[in-house]
Amino acid sequence: MAEPTKEELMARIAELEKQAGAKRGNRIEFKVSEKGGVSVYGVGRFPVTLYYEQWVRLSDSADALRSFLQENKSWLKLKGSE
């Protein structure tokens, strides 16, 4: 088997970087942590981890959270606006 050329290696690196970027994108992923919590990846720099009961409480109050965010939008920092 012949050694790959520099161009072939560079093309492979570019392909892998493209795939890695596509995986991260805006996708949100869920994983079960070692301690049994549910971690959410893709929201910010670090994962958000809560236990089952906490996620249920949070999801039950989704409508209240949306209302709160809308009512306080003028006070909140929005990504992309300085």
* The token pair that represents 66 in the structure block: 């949306």
How many beta carbons lie within 10 A of that of residue 42, not counting itself?
Answer: 13
Per-residue tokens: 26: 């805006």
- The CA distances from residue 69 to 62, 64, 66, 76, in Å, are 10, 9, 5, 8
Residues 49 and 37 sit within 8 Å (Cβ to Cβ):
yes
pLDDT at residue 2, as a whole number: 85
Mean pLDDT, the chain, rounded, equals 89
pLDDT band at 23 (very low <50, low <70, confident <90, very high): low
Max avg pLDDT among 20-24, 42-46, 58-62: 58-62
Of the candidates 60, 25, 55, the one whose C-alpha atom is nearest the C-alpha of residue 40 is 55
Residue 26 reports pLDDT greater than 80: no
Across 20-24, 37-41, 75-79, least confident range: 20-24
pLDDT cut 70: percent of the chain above it: 91
